[in-house]
Structure 1
């Protein structure tokens, strides 16, 4: 009521100006809003619709089958293996990059000799396309000519068949992806450590805190917003990894290194089962949405109680 009264009390010139400002605002946000609707929301909704149909790219139109694709998906042992692979791949790669990136970022912040060159080398893998990283690691994993053969030979052992056996294929893509993302996480932690308030650490040192106690009690809590950001983005990006899998293993042998992202591609463009592919994509979307909501709620609760 107060807002209506205030609007009514404005002079005609001010009302015209507010209308012009509102129109200008609408014109400025229209391109971005249209892009979001066309390239984000519409594909998501259309994918959900496709997940309720049976289509092979050849039939003139999809046939509505309801929830049958989801029933078949959850009844398939292949799906549960792929889901497990996704959880293992995401958990190890995200955890490994957080721990390794924090350690490297902390070492880089010590300002040792050649630290600038070291930072460049550390960040370089993140700048490479995933396909290029896959090719590099395909060579290093080669049991005959690669670095893996030399490394295992130091201990008198034969190199594993990293990319061609089901026992090692999931580890192959996990190692390669972790290596690619490690530099990004390390640089983010490095810049965050440099921005930490030095006076707080000086006061803690005067109180007798040092070493591991100072790191655990001061550094880690102060870095928690950065860790939350890296954890959230790490889960989202690793769960959608594709190019490294395509180059190294192709999801095989069998489904031993297949993740939900690869399953979406394989079902659509190899099996031509669009409904199952869309259902798997919808499941992946829901998982990532739930993870994002839960992590956001936890972060908000921590801020509220701090």
Structure 2
């Protein structure tokens, strides 16, 4: 008996291919996609990619920004920066400020998000208070915190006097000045990290927390084994965005210390770009520093993406 004679059994002949249904191209959808994407793409090209390429080009020239003429000097700006005496100090300031700002913002932001994710009275009002500094201009926050850290009549000086401790001179000692601007920036940026983490926590699977609690898992272990793995993608996103934002802080430094004390006590790379370009009128040298900054950030971002991909797999 062959398969043709068995009721209900259909024999598929491999020589006979089923008809193929060709998907028709929807020009209407393509046009809609182009209408939505092209304006953003044009803006990126005009205001991001073109200035970036132009900055790289200018970094190979000696150019007084007040002049209309530029002189090609090749890699001289880069050689000068890598051999300058103040470069190690500026790089150190940038690294310390960036690492402290990223770590402080993310740890405190996550802690506040975990706390205010609980059912507490008045948590909506507290959430608004935490987020409010983020929408205030950095220059305004810098001016306000000058009165907090002032060693003569500031808030910290008053609190330390009550316990008999002399207030550090935040404006004359480079280490304390760097600490001052770092704390100020963390306070401003905390609301951003807090809101992103809070949204991630509210979208996590609560049944996993309940199951772990029923199993008798400690709160600390639940945090590490249940909660944090669910916000891993959010943590990666914040690492990149907070790092980029911290690397580009200018307004708070300019208002509070002007890059000092002692010349470059709180000067970071982005502040050096401003100083060289608009104060010292060395636009080519400033462009070289900006290009080095871009390269470093690009490398860090690529490494983070690779690590994230490996962690996901």
Q: Secondary structure of the residue that 1:77 maps to in structure 2?
A: coil
Kindly tell me the number of residue pairs found equivalent between the two proteins.
Answer: 292
| Contact 2:270–2:290 (CA under 8 A) maintained in structure 1 | yes
Match of 2:157 among 122, 130, 149: 149
**Normalised TM-score (structure 2):** 0.88
CA shift in 2, pair 1:216/1:271, >3 Å: same
Structure 1: gaps (5+ residues): 1-5
Mean Cα displacement is larger for which, 233-242 or 167-176? 167-176
CA shift in 2, pair 1:26/1:167, >3 Å: closer
Q: Which residue is equivalent to 1:196?
A: 204
Match of 1:183 among 184, 188, 191: 191
Distance 2:130 2:121 in 1: 15
Q: Which residue is equivalent to 2:5?
A: none
- Which structure has greater helix proportion? 1
Distance 1:303 1:122 in 2: 32
Q: Which residue is equivalent to 2:121?
A: 113
Distance 2:288 2:252 in 1: 23
Q: Does 1:101 align with 2:105?
A: no
Correspondences of 1:76-95 after superposition (within 5 Å): 76-95=84-103
| Contact 1:164–1:249 (CA under 8 A) maintained in structure 2 | no
C-alpha displacement of 1:29: 3.5
C-alpha displacement of 1:274: 1.0
Distance 2:270 2:63 in 1: 19
Match of 2:294 among 273, 285, 300: 285
CA shift in 2, pair 1:22/1:108, >3 Å: closer
**Normalised TM-score (structure 1):** 0.90
Match of 1:69 among 74, 77, 82: 77
Q: Secondary structure of the residue that 2:74 maps to in structure 1?
A: coil
Q: Which runs of 4+ in 1 moved over 6 A?
A: none
Q: Which residue is equivalent to 2:279?
A: 270
How well do the aligned residues superpose, as a CA RMSD in angstroms?
1.9
Q: Does 1:251 align with 2:259?
A: yes
C-alpha displacement of 1:204: 1.7
Structure 2: gaps (5+ residues): 1-19
